[in-house]
Amino acid sequence: MNLTEKTAYLKGLIEGMDLNKDDKCTRIFKEIVGILEDMAISVCDLDDEVETLNGIVDEIDEDLGEIEEFVYGDDDKDDDFNEDDYDEVECPECGTLVYIDDDCDLDDLECPECKKRFKYDFKCDCGCDHGEPK
């Protein structure tokens, strides 16, 4: 049973009780049921409007997704950061790990934390000089 059906049932119960029409309690019950009827109708109308708006929002979301795909393409893979694609360099000033790739200028790196610029001198773990990393 929905709200309007429950309110109608309650109204029928009160009418079927053979209550004295001039009694104050009877008038209060009828007024309360009248208010409940109005509220039930309003809530049902709001439910219908919300359902309609949800459908419209879903359509807008789908359209926006199509526009995003058209404008930006399907490059979701490029946005993911993968540490394996970069070398780690420790900032000599603050110790923050800075990720570098083959395109970085090793003579002019900037720490994202302290914003200090530094030069990276690559040294192999074995002590020999092989040149730049990877």
CA 103, 108, 112 angle in degrees (round to 5)? 85
Asked whether residue 123 carries a pLDDT value surpassing 70, the answer given is: no
In a shared domain, residues 103 and 53: no
Domain that holds residue 58: 3-76
In a shared domain, residues 63 and 96: no
Report the alpha-carbon distance of residue 121 to residue 104 in Å, rounded: 13
In a shared domain, residues 44 and 100: no
pLDDT average, residue stretch 42-46 = 95
Average pLDDT score, the chain: 83
Asked whether residue 130 carries a pLDDT value surpassing 70, the answer given is: no
Report the alpha-carbon distance of residue 111 to residue 78 in Å, rounded: 23
What is the domain count for the chain? 2
In a shared domain, residues 72 and 9: yes
Per-residue pLDDT, 134: 43
Last residue of a domain, one of 38, 56, 76: 76
Report the alpha-carbon distance of residue 9 to residue 83 in Å, rounded: 66
Asked whether residue 46 carries a pLDDT value surpassing 80, the answer given is: yes
Per-residue pLDDT, 37: 94
Report the alpha-carbon distance of residue 64 to residue 57 in Å, rounded: 10
Q: Please, how many CA atoms are within 13 Å of residue 121, restricted to the half-sphere of its CB? A: 4
Type and span of the H or E element at 32: helix 24-72
In a shared domain, residues 25 and 60: yes
